[in-house]
Amino acid sequence: MRFLQVSDVHLGSRIGLSWLTPAQCEEMIRCVKDTFRRAMLLAKERQVDAVLIPGDLFDDESVRPEDVSWVVSCIREISPIPVFIAPGNHDPYWPGSPYHPLWIARYPQVAWPANAHIFTAPSFQTIRSEDGAFSVTALAHTHAGEIREPLLSTRIDCGSDPVRILMVHGSREAPGVRSKDKTLPFTDDDIVRQSVSWVAAGHYHSAQTFTDSRGNPAGGYSGCPQGRGLDECGPKGALVVEVTPSGAAVEFCEIASRSFWKVGVDVTGKGLPEIMGALEAAAEAIPGGDLLYVQLSGRLGREVSLELQPGFMADRTYAFHCDSSLVAPDYDIEGLLAPQEAEGLPGRYVRRILEMKNAASDEERAGVDEALYLGLNAIYGKAPDAH
């Protein structure tokens, strides 16, 4: 059996990033919609037995009816492939939600197709496939608040079909995994306890897979399929999960229309041509048509101007921004030690600080260096973001 797993689309998100133009923000909102359709088309292309959506398909209940219609039409387009939706903490099932009969009554143009199976109960329920080959068990978040109870700490009844899928919109707690908006927490032991074929998890926006005690894939997050900002950088997509009697195999499929990338460049000791070379190399390393944000850091030579040509990188990226707010100016320390500088304030300051540095212990030296630059910044009236 083959499944496509996609979650955390957050359709209807507002995207307002200060480093993008309003038109680029609009385009990224469009990309979120496009990507959902790409996910559905991938499901059709890969001839999956079902699509699994473990939560946060919509960003919140203010989603526009036309956006819900879009989702509905994309799901109808892949009929009869069943699409299982478990509402998450962003799109909980309650009267304000686009899954609810009261909402649908207000917007009769939105009719969920027969192949959409939406979980609506706050406790785990199981839906069996028509042919009895597999079942999907899930619950619906019914409010935007967190679910504190570790509901997976006891074994959930997932029926006895040969292939059993459990969908959960919650926070995996494991060493090195940072939990945002912790809700419905579970551990890897909780996953193993369920004894199901695959746990389709949503809520985290980065793809990750977790394994059972023998190292076999037991479940995973697809992450969000389309990044919406710098906290959602890199390749984004969906999972194609193949379940066989010997276990599950997972494939991450990139489907994002445009990806965000954030790259750091240290300008210390570099001239403008070298800095531009580093920016070009950063753009070279990512697919054309993506969004690149470069964070410059380090000390910039006083003679170097960071003026980039208007439209620089416009042919290689969809959006490009070079952030120099962390760049500090560099100083000609040798020059300030020259005899002709000996009487001036900067010269006297540098000489005195370097005397202190020579007398300092190894641990103190970094602090003395910092004092050197802070003092020179003050003398020259330079803030770190003066460039």
Q: From the CB of 199, what's the least distance to Mn ion, in Å?
A: 16
Closer CB to Mn ion, residue 56 or residue 61? Answer: 56
Residues 4-63 that bind Mn ion (CB under 5 A): 56
Closer CB to Mn ion, residue 171 or residue 317? Answer: 171
Closer CB to Mn ion, residue 89 or residue 135? Answer: 89
Q: From the CB of 231, what's the least distance to Mn ion, in Å?
A: 14
Residues 261-290 that bind Mn ion (CB under 5 A): none
Closer CB to Mn ion, residue 30 or residue 182? Answer: 182
Closer CB to Mn ion, residue 58 or residue 318? Answer: 58
Closer CB to Mn ion, residue 203 or residue 270? Answer: 203
Q: From the CB of 216, what's the least distance to Mn ion, in Å?
A: 27
Residues 227-266 that bind Mn ion (CB under 5 A): none
Residue nearest to Mn ion (CB): 203
Closer CB to Mn ion, residue 202 or residue 329? Answer: 202
Q: From the CB of 258, what's the least distance to Mn ion, in Å?
A: 22
Angle at 148 between CA 143 and CA 149, to 5 degrees: 110
Label residues 234-262 b or e (16+ Cβ within 10 Å = b).
bebbbbbbbbeeeebebebbebbbbbbbb
Contact 117, 136 (CB under 8 A): yes
Contact 38, 255 (CB under 8 A): yes
Q: From the CB of 184, what's the least distance to Mn ion, in Å?
A: 10
Residues 58-117 that bind Mn ion (CB under 5 A): 88-89
How many residues of this chain interact with Mn ion, rule: CB under 5 A?
4
Q: From the CB of 169, what's the least distance to Mn ion, in Å?
A: 6
Residue 203 as a binder of Mn ion (CB under 5 A): the answer is yes
Q: From the CB of 68, what's the least distance to Mn ion, in Å?
A: 18
- Select the span of 18-26, 189-197, 200-208, 314-322 touching Mn ion (CB under 5 A): 200-208
- Three-state SS for the chain is CEEEECCCCCECCCCCCCCCCHHHHHHHHHHHHHHHHHHHHHHHHCCCCEEEECCCCECCCCCCHHHHHHHHHHHHHCCCCCEEECCCCCCCCCCCCCCCHHHHHHCCCCCCCCCEEECCCCCCEEEECCCCCEEEEECCCCCCCCCCCCHHHCCCCCCCCCEEEEEEECCECCCCCCCCCCCCCECHHHHHHHCCCEEEEECCCCCEEEECCCCCEEEEECCCCCCCCHHHECCCEEEEEEEECCEEEEEEEECCCCCEEEEEEECCCCCHHHHHHHHHHHHHCCCCCCEEEEEEEEEECCCCCCCCCCCCCCCCCCEEEEEEEEEEECCCHHHHCCHHHCCCHHHHHHHHHHHHHHHCCHHHHHHHHHHHHHHHHHHHCCCCCCC
Closer CB to Mn ion, residue 10 or residue 100? Answer: 10
Closer CB to Mn ion, residue 134 or residue 204? Answer: 204
Q: From the CB of 246, what's the least distance to Mn ion, in Å?
A: 32
Q: From the CB of 139, what's the least distance to Mn ion, in Å?
A: 14
Interface residues with Mn ion (CB under 5 A)?
Answer: 56, 88-89, 203
